[in-house]
Amino acid sequence: MSLVHTLSTASIKRRQNSLKISITGLKSSFGRARSRVNLAPTKKPSSKVFPFFRLPRKIRDQIYSELFKLLIPARVVVREPNGYACFQDDTFPRAAFPSFCYVSHKIHTESLPLLLKHSEVILENLFAVKILSDYLKTGLNLRFVRGITSLTFRSTIAWHPQATQTTRGLIEKCKSLRQVKIEVPASACVEWEDGKLRVKQKKYIIDTIDLCCLLDCENLKKVTLSCWGGAQEAKTMDLQVDAVFEPVVLWVQQNICRGSGVRLLVEHGKGLGLGDGR
């Protein structure tokens, strides 16, 4: 056997051995890759779960509701959200909410719809009605509608048909509304005619104070008519104070409360009279 033949044979064997090693290494790499792909997914650590959310949603809502009952004033006044007023606790819309609302995103989302559940929301004028109505129109603000259960309309808010569109729209939004309080001034029920004070005709009063929007409140339980003034007028006409507001009271009693389970409460407060009108 020649030296050249021996060297050629040795070279071929080295190449074969090198090829075997490469193939073995390649198989090993594929095996490791396949084993990594087939690994069972690791379990999420249960210690990260916030225990509060293991409670039923109904219980969580009760907790939110009770916290807001302690932290939000019983009477909340609607005011322009710009300026200092939005930082006061007794105003709405608010610049900030109770601190527990920011513990987690889920608590924030779940709790805020119940923010006003135990508060009387007071609307001082038609501008306030528009502010609240516009605020509840779109986006995340819609969630507050669920929590509005009590609305109070001050005596400065007109109820004649041409002015009730905004008010009607607000009431329609508040599907959870259970209590409505309306302040009725004596000036809406009496007038001077030929130098004498008299109670306006029933039809005129009802046409002027249009409360038909209350008929659409499916969850309404109580209507309060807060009658302002009337004592001076009643004395002038030699009548009882109740007689001054009787047309409005009877209309609500017959059209809103009768057969519906809605309770009517009539209260009287001091207010400015019409003067002597002469």
Q: What is the pLDDT of residues 170-203, one digit of tens each?
A: 999 999 999 999 999 998 999 888 888 998 988 8
- In the predicted model, residues of the chain with pLDDT beneath 70 are 1-49, 81-87, 271-278
Return the DSSP state at 229: -
Q: What is the pTM of this model?
A: 0.76
Q: Which of 169, 57, 166 is nearest to 113 (CA)?
A: 57
pLDDT on residue 82 = 64
Domain encompassing residue 134? 57-269
- List, for residues 33-65, the tens digit of each pLDDT value: 444 444 445 445 444 557 899 999 999 999 999
What 3-state class would DSSP assign to 92? strand
**Dihedral (C-alpha) 240, 264, 153, 274: value to the nearest 10 degrees?**
-10
Q: Tokens for 198?
A: 């008299």
| 149 within domain boundaries | yes
User: Is-contact 265 224, C-beta < 8 A?
Assistant: yes
| 52 within domain boundaries | no
- The alpha-helical segments, DSSP class H, found in 112-158 are 126-135
pLDDT on residue 180 = 97
| 16 within domain boundaries | no
**CA separation for the pair 273, 185 (Å, rounded):** 9
157's CB contacts (< 8 A; 6+ apart) are: 123, 125, 126, 129, 167, 183
Question: Per the structure, how many domains does the chain have?
Answer: 1
pLDDT on residue 269 = 78
| 117 within domain boundaries | yes
**CA separation for the pair 82, 88 (Å, rounded):** 12
Q: Tokens for 147?
A: 């929590």
| 192 within domain boundaries | yes
**What are the backbone angles phi and psi of residue 83, rounded to the nearest 5°?**
95, -175
| 49 within domain boundaries | no
pLDDT on residue 221 = 96
Q: Which uninterrupted H or E stretch holds 266?
A: strand 263-269
| 17 within domain boundaries | no
pLDDT on residue 193 = 86
| 47 within domain boundaries | no
Q: Which of 166, 233, 148, 250 is nearest to 197 (CA)?
A: 233
Q: Which of 263, 275, 171 is nearest to 222 (CA)?
A: 263
